Amino acid sequence: MALLTIGDIAPDFEVETTEGVIHFHEWIGDGYAVIFSHPKDFTPVCTTELGYMAGLKPEFDKRNCKIIGLSVDPIDDHIMWSKDIKVATGHAPNYPLIGDKELMVAKAFGMLPKDSGVTSEGRTPIDNQTVRTVFVIGPDKIIKLALTYPMSTGRNFDEILRVLDSMQLTAEHQVATPVNWQRGDDVIIAPAVSNEQAEKKYPEGWGGPLPYIRTIPDPKR
């Protein structure tokens, strides 16, 4: 099993979701997408995560980023579980959930080995523990981020939003973002930009503690 990672082309597939059949690349369109997986429906940590993600959806919408969930459970289970998610978190999933009961999508992303069989029947959360990854995919259908979490640790989706902000900023401008960066904070001129180029691009100059850490205000501020 080789988990897909940064720089890989995201697999394309046709699959059933709680919002109907989608063609993945076509569904992504010209924006970004987050696909996040969980090992099993009706599990405690994942219940809190899917509800929280539903609450964050308007923030992803503002950034032209779609979100979609995935597990190897059937669609009917997703629909029944959504009621529990609403009770527990105040938010029911307002984004599609993939029913990957034949394990096709999980295998395509490398979250399960190719020899995992062709059905989710009889599989436990432990069997599916590697189906717990977050991928951020760009408009070019290239994977920009891949994170896999242990089952006992809830994911920080605010961090995914922060990373998305950084990705979109750095894709538009020749900058990088430093540790713990938040929207509006100073950024770093990319190393690929020479001082001569930087002087033309940023005539007001830059700061920074070292010659190779050239800081400027957030270009979108």
Question: pLDDT at position 55, please?
Answer: 98
Calculate the dihedral angle through the C-alpha atoms of 180, 181, 185, 190, rounding to the nearest 10 degrees: 130
What are the structure tokens assigned to 114, written together?
A: 């190719």
Sign of CA dihedral 219, 190, 169, 134: negative
pLDDT at 122 over 80: no
Please state, rounded to an integer, the average pLDDT across all residues of the chain. Answer: 94
Question: pLDDT at position 28, please?
Answer: 98
Residues whose CB falls within 8 Å of the CB of residue 11, separated by 6 or more in sequence, listed in order: 4, 24, 105, 108, 109
Give the pTM: 0.93
Q: At what angle do helices 44-62 and 157-172 cross, to 10 degrees?
A: 30
Question: pLDDT at position 2, please?
Answer: 85
Q: What's the CA gap between 4 and 129, in Å, rounded?
A: 16
- Is 46 considered catalytic here? yes
Domain 173-216 in this protein, CATH class: alpha beta
pLDDT 10s digits, 147-202: 999 999 999 999 999 999 999 999 999 999 999 999 999 999 999 999 999 999 99
Domain boundaries, the chain: 14-154, 173-216
pLDDT at 1 over 70: no
* Among 95, 90, 44, CA closest to 68: 95
pLDDT at 140 over 80: yes
For the domain spanning 14-154, the CATH number is: 3.40.30.10
Question: pLDDT at position 116, please?
Answer: 79
Residues whose CB falls within 8 Å of the CB of residue 136, separated by 6 or more in sequence, listed in order: 32, 33, 34, 143, 144, 145, 160, 163, 164, 167
From the candidates 46, 73, 77, 165, give the one annotated as an active-site residue. 46
Q: What's the CA gap between 132 and 149, in Å, rounded?
A: 6
- Is 186 considered catalytic here? no
From the candidates 8, 65, 77, 140, give the one annotated as an active-site residue. 140
Question: pLDDT at position 124, please?
Answer: 74
Question: pLDDT at position 114, please?
Answer: 77
| pLDDT range class, residue 121, cuts 50, 70, 90 | confident
pLDDT 10s digits, 51-98: 999 999 999 999 999 999 999 999 999 999 999 999 999 999 999 999
Question: pLDDT at position 117, please?
Answer: 74
| pLDDT range class, residue 206, cuts 50, 70, 90 | very high
